[in-house]
Amino acid sequence: MSEAAVVETGPAVEIVGLKKSFGPLEVLKGIDARVERGDVVCVIGPSGSGKSTLLRCVNLLEEPTAGRIVVNGTELTDPDVDIDAARTRIGMVFQGFNLFSHLNVLNNLMVAQRKVLKRDQKTAQEVALRNLERVGLGEKVNAMPAQLSGGQQQRVAIARALSMDPDVMLFDEPTSALDPELVGDVLGVMRQLADEGMTMLVVTHEMQFAREVADRVLFMDGGYVVEEGPAEQVISAPRHERTQSFLARVLDPTHQGPSA
């Protein structure tokens, strides 16, 4: 059960007129996007287009320069909002493996449950074990992070985020630092979460995953959402020329598109 009151209607994530500048550099130039409850939205686009910045603005790791972010009815950009409380409802998994290297797997999964959610030892342990099983790593409960493969560490990071009972999971290229043979296990866990109805916003270069798992795809370029629509349509039949040339390059790296 969730500890916070949750609005049960409306989109899980709503982004309105989002802008973000770093000094003179305007990285997000007015983003409007939404993620419906239970949907998976994949964000694709070239390096530097602002995908990570967008994700980091959604849980206010970056402070937007303008615009509104609403997660499950709570406006995070409202200056009066309890941002720490709101942020516990948002799980985030990054490209790198951000486990605490001095803590074993179980304690990695328990520390924020204990400190932030104030769960007792027994409850936190039960939740941790349930989520480790969920990502197929129940037998690694006592392992140290350094004893795990990159793919296993990333699945532990996912289990840790799930242990906070998030309403929404944000993923920023969770497989791009992995050896190719480890990518499938992590994508498999993400696919399973999607099947379970988890709301997910995923930055990825895995076009097959996006096509098969995402409900909708956003293509970003130059700080704008250039194209947005059903996954199959955006990936297989993109309408915008910039989406077409980007996809031609990522689906066939030998292709020399107009901007290559």
Ligand X SMILES: Nc1ncnc2c1ncn2[C@@H]1O[C@H](COP(=O)(O)OP(=O)(O)OP(=O)(O)O)[C@@H](O)[C@H]1O
Compare residues 52 and 199 and give the one whose CB is closer to ligand X. 52
Of 52, 113, 125, 175, the one binding Mg ion by CB under 5 A: 52
Residue 137: contacted member of Mg ion, ligand X, none (CB under 5 to 8 Å, by partner type): none
How near is the Cβ of 242 to Mg ion at its closest, in Å?
A: 18
Compare residues 23 and 79 and give the one whose CB is closer to ligand X. 23
CB contact at 8 A, 68 and 14: yes
Q: Does 74 bind Mg ion (CB under 5 A)?
A: no
CA distances from 119 to 72, 85, 90, 127, 232 (A): 23, 15, 17, 10, 42
Question: Whose CA is closest to 85, among 157, 4, 199, 201?
Answer: 4
How near is the Cβ of 22 to ligand X at its closest, in Å?
A: 3
Compare residues 76 and 220 and give the one whose CB is closer to ligand X. 220
- Exposed, middle or buried by CB within 10 Å (0-12, 13-18, 19+), for 83? middle
How near is the Cβ of 161 to ligand X at its closest, in Å?
A: 19
Instruction: Show Cβ contacts of residue 23 under 8 Å, excluding neighbours closer than 6 positions.
Output: none
- Report strand pairing: 74-75 vs 66-71: antiparallel
Compare residues 49 and 72 and give the one whose CB is closer to ligand X. 49
Instruction: Show Cβ contacts of residue 165 under 8 Å, excluding neighbours closer than 6 positions.
Output: 2, 3, 89, 127
Interacting residue ranges for ligand X, rule: CB under 6 A? 22, 25, 27, 45, 47-53
How near is the Cβ of 4 to Mg ion at its closest, in Å?
A: 29
CB atoms within 10 A of CB 177: 15
Compare residues 5 and 25 and give the one whose CB is closer to ligand X. 25
Residue 53: contacted member of Mg ion, ligand X, none (CB under 5 to 8 Å, by partner type): ligand X
- Report strand pairing: 25-35 vs 199-203: unpaired
Residue 10: contacted member of ligand X, Mg ion, none (CB under 5 to 8 Å, by partner type): none
What residue ranges bind Mg ion (CB under 5 A)? Answer: 52
